[in-house]
Structure 1
Amino acid sequence: MQAPSENTDVKLDTSNEPSAHLIEENVALPEEIFHSYLSYILYEMVHYIPIVIIFLLNVCLVLLFLFFHDGPGTILFYVFSLFCSLPMLVASVGEFIMKPIRNQDFKINLLVEVIKRKPAVKGKEWRTITYNMNQYLFDHRLWNTPYCFYDDEDCHHYFLRLIEGKTFKKQGDSPTSNVTDAQSNEATTSPPIGATESFTFHSGPNYQKYLSKAAEIEQQSQDNYWQGRHPDIDALLKKTE
């Protein structure tokens, strides 16, 4: 593993940072830190506790079998133990590969990054988003290393899994603007006397609203990307109508 230089290992402050194109030179992703993808995977597996524990268990069982197999009952016990532990090892590796990050705060922060930066498909903004998300996972102890996503495509694919196949409504006026309008024109917007207002409380931000806005931005980026690759696509679509 290559050690990143001081310039490429500087933690970015997402709350008060310049535009992505000004800081992209200071962003180092695992694809640039490790010699190969294999070395990255091995490094991550060594730091993934379930894999380490189950792997050591299998090693101990094999060693015990090699040195202490003095009876059929003992051999049967070792075989049965390996039969149970090997699938557990395979399952833990599969769980690691799928990166099952179920933390809601992490997902919301990823959506906020997309909404804030409006990344283009295969754009440089995804490098900054990926770096920030890797740091977030590590700082909040959701991942054992600051290298969860290997490259920007890895992070982008994770984001696509959050929104792909879902149906969204386009965002209208924000609740903040509605509150502002109500304060500026209280006579016309206040409810009648005796009327009851209701709302649904969410512990934290409205996840579905963030998801919808981020999906809208991604759809526009996808349209712009394919429009750039095939400028005549609109004319072709009109011919097929």
Structure 2
Amino acid sequence: MKDNEIEDEKSVDVLPFKQLESQKTVLPQDVFRNELTWFCYEMSKSLAFRIWMLLWLPLSVWWKLSNNWVYPLIVSLLVLVLGPIFLLVIREPSRKRSLSKQLTQFCKEITKSTPSSDPHDWEVVAANLNSYLYENKAWNTRYFFFNATDCGEMFRKTVLEPFSLKKDEAAKVKSFKDSVPYIEEALGVYFTEVEKHWKLFNTEKSWSPVGLEDAKLPKEAHRSKFTWLLGRIFTIYFLPLCLAFFNCTYTSRNDDLISDFSYTVVIFLFMVTA
């Protein structure tokens, strides 16, 4: 019994320790303003983007030498439109292919950092893999994973789902080769941590319905539906809408009755739903 209590206490301390550890890591989400700027930076460093830019060199020469501007214009428009589309299409397969060549290291980081289904647990793995991929020239930048969620999603797409679909041991070896034992170890660690978090979720320490006793439904807080409706109407938006309502009702008597009635109904609905 004492051993079980000690193990429970240790498991409870796992989550805060990981969160403190993950606060020290720096990811692209901390460097770039948003995911769009990170995406543009990553695309500008890719080989496909450089090839797309080089295509404009012969096109510009063609523009100068050609007497008929129609054909250079058509080709330029095609390159301008299809180029970014092509870059978007090949981006995700390119990332998967680069990461699939480093599955052994990916699984080693998972085994060492013991992440679970909580996105925060993947921050250390993402930071370490970003540095490893760049230093070993497996990726052009230090920002392969944008954040911890991106890392966990790539783990699911490149390791968890493909490996789980391979029921035969020979098929696993054929697809993942020497990475099979590392993948099995990483998956074992991952599912163990998920189970720990699930147990923590069901304990009184991790799940306590604080404040739920004082929570009240609108039926308990109001005497009737009418008072609840009045409460919805009398909001900070009530005064300008009310003025618009009376302006429509009393100052536009000579206009079309159908349009006046429609406008009045619309204003009233805005008052109710505000």
| TM-score normalised per structure 2 | 0.53
1:49 paired with 2:21, answer no
Q: CA RMSD in A?
A: 3.7
Structure 2: gaps (5+ residues): 1-16, 168-173, 204-274
Q: 1:117 aligns with which of 113, 119, 127?
A: 113
Inter-CA distance 168–77: structure 2 relative to 1 (3 Å threshold): closer
For the 8 Å contact 1:106–1:136, the answer to whether it is kept is: no
Letter in 1 for 2:182: Y
1:148 paired with 2:144, answer yes
Inter-CA distance 60–34: structure 2 relative to 1 (3 Å threshold): farther
Partner of 2:74: 79
Whole-Å Cα distance in 1 between the matches of residues 142 and 44 of structure 2?
A: 14
How many residues are paired up?
A: 179
Partner of 1:40: 38
Letter in 2 for 1:52: R
Whole-Å Cα distance in 2 between the matches of residues 22 and 227 of structure 1?
A: 21
For the 8 Å contact 1:51–1:93, the answer to whether it is kept is: no
Inter-CA distance 68–28: structure 2 relative to 1 (3 Å threshold): same
Whole-Å Cα distance in 2 between the matches of residues 134 and 23 of structure 1?
A: 17
1:137 positional shift: 0.8
Give the SS at the match of 1:147. Answer: coil
1:145 positional shift: 1.0
Whole-Å Cα distance in 1 between the matches of residues 166 and 67 of structure 2?
A: 65
For the 8 Å contact 1:55–1:89, the answer to whether it is kept is: no
1:224 positional shift: 4.1
Give the SS at the match of 1:26. Answer: coil
Partner of 1:210: 182
Inter-CA distance 59–164: structure 2 relative to 1 (3 Å threshold): same
Whole-Å Cα distance in 2 between the matches of residues 167 and 221 of structure 1?
A: 21
For the 8 Å contact 1:58–1:86, the answer to whether it is kept is: no
Partner of 2:241: none
Inter-CA distance 223–63: structure 2 relative to 1 (3 Å threshold): farther
Whole-Å Cα distance in 1 between the matches of residues 150 and 78 of structure 2?
A: 33
Letter in 2 for 1:163: L
Partner of 1:16: none
1:90 positional shift: 2.3
Kindly, what percent of the aligned residue pairs are identical?
Answer: 20
Inter-CA distance 227–87: structure 2 relative to 1 (3 Å threshold): farther
Give the SS at the match of 2:138. Answer: coil
Give the structure with the higher percent helix.
2
Whole-Å Cα distance in 2 between the matches of residues 168 and 224 of structure 1?
A: 26
1:164 paired with 2:161, answer yes
Larger Rg: 2
Partner of 1:92: 87
- Deviations 1:51-106 (Å, cap 9, x if unpaired)? 132134247637854x66522xx633653575478545422332224423345552
Whole-Å Cα distance in 1 between the matches of residues 120 and 139 of structure 2?
A: 24
Give the SS at the match of 2:96. Answer: coil
For the 8 Å contact 1:130–1:151, the answer to whether it is kept is: yes
Structure 1: gaps (5+ residues): 1-18, 170-201, 232-241
Partner of 2:267: none
| TM-score normalised per structure 1 | 0.59
1:137 paired with 2:133, answer yes
Whole-Å Cα distance in 1 between the matches of residues 91 and 196 of structure 2?
A: 34
Whole-Å Cα distance in 1 between the matches of residues 107 and 74 of structure 2?
A: 48
- Deviations 1:182-224 (Å, cap 9, x if unpaired)? xxxxxxxxxxxxxxxxxxxx9xx94112112222222333344
1:49 positional shift: 2.3
